[in-house]
């Protein structure tokens, strides 16, 4: 019975995202493989359900299982209507399903033993995270006080307008953290009918599985199957992300989901750079919105990616500004409209109950704290080059790839990702300059978790550095 309830909770997410994914892939010459469609459906469904349920509470309603079912069934009905021709064709000839699975079986026979081994290792790491989620409760202070407690409050009270969100004696001061992660976990607890700090982490594993499938599908566009699986294994095995504590996938923190949604945003921005299709830009903007609903650090991710996109485009000879600028303005408007209610709610809460330092972001504070740069850059160096237990050889491989494949900076998608990662660490550095804390103590507990946000994107950049085909360089990295 518990298994059926868990499956039910995850089907709600897939239904909610299926309509959006169908619209994004509709009328394209290149149809996505099923794992890419399902993975994007899950990522979009998590965000869409989370944001819409946030709006329900924002407008004075209560977060209930009925609302989740209503939203998912409405999206599912729209999905069926959109794909009605395919549904009718399938109903007339059910043998098409058997034929499709027959094709998959024939393709599987073409796999070599190295590819099978790589896939097995990826699935093994995925199973390990599932085991962590089911077996281990929330153990870290932040995971319980910042995220788990909010999930528990929303499960029992169904709203963030209760005293628990406004009374400093009832909740940890980090009350202003965005609520997409707690809402996502509440979907599981409401389906189960009880609060469970183990099973509510299942969506974190599903997000991990979804980004692995999406990343494999993206790298498979320009790498062989074995190489694409190798990069996927690389992503799945980042030590800092696979640990069950202190920011790892199943720790209950928001850092790993934020990093994965940031990667998904960048994947679709790269696709937009190459295709110029508005659907890719809209999908990227939705994923960017969800990063900001996961954690406020998503604002820093967005503040890195979009200026990097503009800067990378300045080097292009054929960027087609007249075509691209309206799309950028449209996606910017989508982001602003969807994020505004969350910011209004956040700023309705007492500043004393959150660790927000917008008032410190000024030239006076920055000039006064410039002596911190030595501590900051020394910490970066130690983390990137010597902290192998956290990152393995990720940052060393990135540096070698950038030097060895320096000619690839002629491609806009490579420039864009490289600028994004550089800007990301620039934003981090500015934040470290204004924080009113002892940096050495802060870095001991938080530096690696913040760097984690850019780790999956860095693997994506490495994959682009080693992309095999040589194209006629338009100055923009491909067709526009």
- Measured CA to CA in angstroms, residue 305 lies from 269, 270, 386, 427 at distances of 9, 11, 27, 11
What average pLDDT does the segment 240-249 reach? Answer: 88
pLDDT at residue 92, rounded to an integer = 65
pLDDT band at 231 (very low <50, low <70, confident <90, very high): very high
pLDDT at residue 473, rounded to an integer = 41
pLDDT at residue 319, rounded to an integer = 66
Instruction: Say if residues 218 and 267 touch (Cβ distance below 8 Å).
Output: yes
What's the pLDDT tens digit per position in 432-473?
988 877 888 888 878 999 999 999 999 999 999 998 864 444
Please enumerate in sequence order all residues whose Cβ is within 8 A of that of 17, keeping only pairs 6 or more positions apart, or say none.
40, 41, 42, 43, 44, 45, 46, 47, 48, 75
Q: Is the pLDDT of residue 477 over 50?
A: no
pLDDT band at 142 (very low <50, low <70, confident <90, very high): confident
Q: Is the pLDDT of residue 46 over 90?
A: yes
Q: Is the pLDDT of residue 256 over 70?
A: yes
What's the pLDDT tens digit per position in 369-420?
788 899 999 999 999 988 899 999 999 999 999 999 988 988 889 999 999 9
What's the pLDDT tens digit per position in 29-41?
778 888 899 999 9
Neighbours of 227 (CB within 10 A): 18
Per-domain residue ranges for the chain?
A: 2-83+109-465
Please enumerate in sequence order all residues whose Cβ is within 8 A of that of 289, keeping only pairs 6 or more positions apart, or say none.
47, 51, 334, 335, 338, 339
What's the pLDDT tens digit per position in 264-307?
999 999 999 988 888 999 999 999 999 999 998 898 999 999 89
Of the CA atoms within 13 Å of residue 257, those in its CB half-sphere come to 33
pLDDT at residue 443, rounded to an integer = 87
Neighbours of 433 (CB within 10 A): 20
């Amino acid at each position: 019975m518990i298994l059926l309830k868990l499956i039910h909770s995850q089907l709600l997410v897939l239904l909610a995202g299926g309509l959006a994914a169908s619209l994004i892939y509709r009328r394209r010459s290149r149809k996505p493989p099923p794992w890419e469609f399902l993975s994007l459906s899950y990522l979009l469904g998590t965000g869409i359900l989370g944001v819409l349920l946030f709006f329900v509470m924002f407008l004075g309603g209560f977060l209930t299982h009925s609302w989740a079912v209503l939203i998912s069934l409405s999206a599912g009905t729209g999905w069926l209507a959109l794909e009605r021709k395919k549904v009718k064709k399938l109903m007339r000839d059910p043998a098409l399903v058997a034929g499709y699975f027959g094709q998959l079986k024939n393709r599987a026979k073409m796999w070599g033993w190295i590819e099978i081994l790589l896939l097995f290792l990826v699935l093994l790491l995925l199973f390990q995270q599932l085991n962590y989620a089911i077996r281990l409760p929330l153990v870290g202070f932040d995971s319980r006080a910042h995220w788990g407690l909010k999930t528990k409050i929303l499960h029992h009270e169904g709203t963030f307008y209760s005293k628990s969100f406004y009374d400093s004696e009832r909740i940890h001061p980090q009350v202003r953290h965005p609520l997409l992660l707690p809402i996502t976990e509440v979907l599981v607890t409401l389906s189960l009918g009880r609060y469970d700090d183990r099973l509510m982490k299942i969506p974190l594993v599903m997000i991990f599985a979804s980004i692995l499938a999406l990343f494999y599908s993206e790298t498979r566009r320009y790498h062989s199957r074995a190489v694409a699986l190798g990069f996927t294994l690389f992503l799945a095995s980042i030590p800092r992300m696979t640990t069950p504590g202190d920011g790892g996938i199943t720790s209950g923190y928001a850092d790993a989901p934020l990093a994965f949604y940031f990667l998904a945003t960048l994947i679709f921005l790269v696709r937009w750079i190459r295709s110029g299709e508005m659907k890719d830009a809209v999908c990227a903007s939705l994923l960017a919105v969800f990063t900001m609903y996961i954690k406020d650090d998503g604002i820093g991710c967005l503040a890195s990616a979009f200026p990097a996109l503009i800067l990378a485009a300045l080097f292009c000879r054929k960027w087609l500004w007249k075509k691209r600028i309206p799309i950028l303005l449209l996606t910017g408007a989508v982001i602003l409209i969807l994020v505004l209610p969350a910011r209004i709610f956040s700023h309705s809460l007492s500043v004393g109950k959150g660790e927000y330092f917008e008032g410190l972001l000024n030239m006076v504070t920055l000039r006064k704290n410039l002596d911190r740069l030595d501590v900051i850059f020394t910490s970066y160096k130690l983390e990137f080059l010597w902290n192998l237990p956290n990152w393995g050889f990720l940052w060393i491989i990135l540096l070698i790839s950038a030097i060895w494949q320096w000619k690839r900076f002629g491609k806009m998608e490579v420039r864009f990702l490289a600028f994004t990662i550089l800007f990301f660490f620039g934003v981090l550095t500015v934040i470290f300059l204004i924080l009113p804390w002892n940096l050495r103590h802060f870095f001991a507990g938080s530096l690696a978790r913040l760097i984690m946000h850019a780790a999956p994107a860095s693997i994506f950049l490495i994959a682009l550095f080693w992309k095999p085909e040589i194209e006629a360089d338009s100055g923009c990295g491909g067709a526009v």
